[in-house]
Amino acid sequence: MAATEPLVLGIETSCDETGIGIVRGRTLLSNTIASSMDEHARYGGVVPEVAARAHLEALQPAIEAAVAEAGIGLDDLDAVAVTSGPGLAGALMVGVGAAKALAVSLDKPLYAVNHLVGHIAADILAGDEVEYPTVALLVSGGHTSLLLVRDLVSDVELLGETVDDAAGEAFDKIARILGLPYPGGPEIDRAAATGDPTAIRFPRGLSRASDMAEHRYDFSFSGLKTAVARWIEQAEAAGTPIDTADVAASFREAVVDVLVTKALDACDRFGVPRLLLGGGVIANRRLREVALARAAEAGVAVRIPPLSLCTDNGAMIAALAAQLMATGHAPSTLAFGADSTLPVTEIQVAGVTA
């Protein structure tokens, strides 16, 4: 029984959410999240040291809350799982230290896994059958990655990623330029509600024909950020009133357009009629709308896990470990650390090859 439906507790501390998840196989028992987002608000972005301090504070109560919600005892667990990377090194280390100690304390196996692949694994907790291969677009304040998933536990390929800012960071930075609070995503969304997305034609990063050879599936948002700032400066210099709604809507459209265009291009090029969306920026209503509409035209089925599983969480980490166990992967050794730049091809870290 434990082989196919293992009971796993997952610990996720790669950014500003302390996530503790408990799953039994593909069944979600608890998705407990303590966020330090409010503490970062006055800095306009995630401050690594603030995040790491908050993880240490939140960890123990979050584990206790998750165990209580799941109605299990820690002794019942079949394994402990933890994010080894990618993410903020100091933040990751809190989770790694805790996970190792918990596993040794309980004398249970430990699975150290990849955060990005965890985002893909979140989908299996949604309840229905998940088909592979799929293209996956993961968009958050920490990452913007386009992946080709042939198999969740053994074959994930990085097609492209951002070469500068993550999409969520771009939202935060533009919000700041427009005088809107942090986090920028929902603020830009709100400001854009009454704006005209076609009012200003902002550039689509890495989308020119000349970019297609090297950066077909990569993203860049720093040029877009500069273009928005320049547009505002020019308007101010000319004394023209700035329509914040139009700027917000046009900026958002540029981001959404490039994300969806590249994702659907990947589906087309690899002959994969499935697209999985993940990451906190998926909360952006316009991104979901455009993705669904254009995917439907292209004959691509879109999967969007519930939002609580799209943002960073421990349940996705537990789910990935449960799948690794169900497919016969041996646990990780204790000899691993936090790897802030862990490549997506390393689905499990420090695994013993059978």
Partner 1 sequence: MPSTGASASAPIPTPRPSEAGGGRREDLPAELARRGPGTLDDVILGIDTSLGTSVAVTDSDGVVRAESSSDNPLGHAEAIGSLLTTALTDAARGPIGQTGAGEPVVLTHVAAGMGPGPFTGLRVGIAAARAFALGRGLPVIAVPSHDAAALAVFLGRALADPFGDVPRFAVVTDARRREFAFSVYDGIDDDGIPVRVEGPLLTPRDRIDDELAALDAERRDVTSIPASMIATLAARAAAAGRTLAGPEPLYLRAPDVTLPAARKRVGV
81, two tokens:
């799982």
227 or 298: whose CB is closer to partner 1? 227
The backbone torsions φ and ψ at residue 107, rounded to the nearest 5 degrees and listed phi first, read 55, 50
> What's the CA gap between 235 and 227, in Å, rounded?
12
Under 8 Å between Cβ of 131 and 139: no
257 in a labelled binding site: no
> What's the CA gap between 343 and 222, in Å, rounded?
23
31: Cβ contacts below 8 Å, ≥ 6 apart: 19, 21, 308, 309, 313, 314, 315
In order of 210, 264, 338, the CA distances from 261 in angstroms are 16, 5, 33
- Give which of Zn ion, partner 1, none residue 242 binds (C-beta under 5 to 8 Å, depending on kind): none
- Give which of Zn ion, partner 1, none residue 312 binds (C-beta under 5 to 8 Å, depending on kind): Zn ion
Least Å from the CB of residue 204 to partner 1: 19
Under 8 Å between Cβ of 148 and 157: yes
Under 8 Å between Cβ of 64 and 102: no
Residue 102 near partner 1 by CB under 8 A: yes
Site string for partner 1, 305-334 (x = CB under 8 A): -----------------------------x
Residue 180 near partner 1 by CB under 8 A: no
238: Cβ contacts below 8 Å, ≥ 6 apart: none
Three-state SS for 342?
A: coil
1 or 238: whose CB is closer to partner 1? 238
Least Å from the CB of residue 183 to partner 1: 13
Residue 266 near partner 1 by CB under 8 A: no
Residue 60 near partner 1 by CB under 8 A: yes
Look-up: residue for tokens 């610990």? 11
- Give which of Zn ion, partner 1, none residue 140 binds (C-beta under 5 to 8 Å, depending on kind): Zn ion
Residue 38 near partner 1 by CB under 8 A: no
Residue 237 near partner 1 by CB under 8 A: yes
Point out which residues pair with 85 in neighbouring strands: 114
Residues that bind Zn ion (CB under 5 A): 140, 312
Stretch that binds partner 1, among 119-127, 146-154, 231-239, 290-298 (CB under 8 A): 231-239
Look-up: residue for tokens 């958002």? 252
> What's the CA gap between 125 and 319, in Å, rounded?
7
Residue 101 near partner 1 by CB under 8 A: yes
Residue 163 near partner 1 by CB under 8 A: no
211 in a labelled binding site: no
Q: Beta-carbon neighbour count of residue 208 at 10 Å?
A: 10
Stretch that binds partner 1, among 156-164, 190-198, 245-253, 335-343 (CB under 8 A): 335-343
> What's the CA gap between 344 and 348, in Å, rounded?
10
Least Å from the CB of residue 99 to partner 1: 7
Residue 230 near partner 1 by CB under 8 A: yes
Q: Which residues bind partner 1 (CB under 8 A)?
A: 42-45, 47, 49-50, 52-53, 55-56, 59-60, 63-64, 74, 89-90, 92-106, 110, 176-177, 226, 229-230, 233-234, 237, 334-338
Where is the binding site for substrate, in residues? 138-142, 172, 185, 189, 284
